[in-house]
Structure 1
Amino acid sequence: EAFENDVPEKHLITLEHLLTMSAGFRWDEWSTEYGHPQNDVTMLANSGDWILHMLELPMAHDPGTDFTYNSGCSVLLSGIIENRTGQTTAAFADKQLFQPLGIDTWGWDSGPHELTNTGWGLHLRPIDMALFGYVFLNQGRWEGEQVVPAGWVQTSTAVHIDAGSQNDYGYQWWRFAEGSSVANALATNDLFFAWGYGGQFIFVIPHLDMVVVSTADNFDNGTRAFNFLRDYILASVQ
């Protein structure tokens, strides 16, 4: 369907660009607090059609050339999953992931048109966060079953783009960049992690056979868990 700002650069955006948050849209959700009228997440949340809102954004960079943390890229992934599977992302995840793992206590917010909010709306218990990390630690296997393809585990958690601030980024997974304080505390820099708003983390450290989960209410400084991980947990096991 036609949409405004349909410039040629948008036709170059790939699934990988969305996964690595390098689609090139003009976007800023970190300069102002969440909930502020000028925050791009607020404007997305208040729009009546999240997919159309994202598609009509102006471009700031050529796709694949610049990392900009963009919750809207994750929302577009939800639309793609829905389009390809014929079901909501929440329903797809329940059948393909949550049920095989025995996760039966979870919630996932939705936006307009029942679009699953993959930008910031997933609710899991800490024990189930740890289970998710454990599955990735074990190359996608759980109780003898291959729940997540091993190739996807390897590809999605690898470094694909420099995210700045001593971080790298994979396919929706974070990595600590070489030379960062946490990477320097590791014998092997193979740690990858999921990062949720307010200090929710799943840290997976393959060479230590370890998963660390952190939940918090640190909406002003969600990275405090990095110091705790480095100074206490890693210091006690190296």
Structure 2
Amino acid sequence: MYRIYIIEDDDKIGAILKKNMEKYGFEAACATQFRELMPELEAYAPHLVLLDINLPYFDGYYWCRQIRTRSSVPIIFISARAGEMDQVMAIENGGDDYITKPIPLDLLMAKIKGVLRRVYGEYAAAGHDGTAAGVPEAELNAHGLRLHLGRSELVWQIRKAMLTKNERLLAECFMRQPGRIVSREQLLEALWDDVQFVDDNTLTVNVTRLRKKLEELGLPKAIETVRGQGYMFLLRDEQEGSDA
């Protein structure tokens, strides 16, 4: 049974969400220690986190960053803030998706089920930690750039960069098709099961973040925008021959 941890300081909303999660066969728990969430969260060991932004003591962006230092558990933001910048900040701070209040429960459940299928279930390539039991960790290699799927780590020569889940999924799409145009639709489908629910700007934000990680590795122009078509992952000769 999947466990869902609800970080919501409105008791009424938290109770409604918990009841709805249990109705669909999930185990759910609501946060109670808003001054220090991490011990409670780690003890519960959820498979997915629902995270509000407006919280006592520290906001949801802060807690998302704290969670990301220790875990790659999927995080869906739930907030009354409907502005585009709030959604961008949620993704930039490590969130996987965003839904605004009042919460359409059918849409929320569709998003939750989609994330769980992708990360742990029928669409997952391996176990929830990225590796199958007893099987060596999978690795992609594109012209010397290596992606460790289990650790969500990019390695270029002697440099390394840790990726968020969405960054890893994008990197995997690009590295499986080096030198070929990857459409925005392909990338959206890799990140989210139902493209119609996704703000296209969210994809742009994630690609920008991955570009920044590649630049930090010494690959500043590895992802090119192909106007009207998508993106292309390309390592040039001078990059392949560069020193770390």
TM-score range, shorter chain: 0.3 to 0.5
TM-score, normalised by the number of residues in structure 2: 0.34
TM-score computed with the length of structure 1 as normaliser: 0.35
* Bigger strand fraction: 2
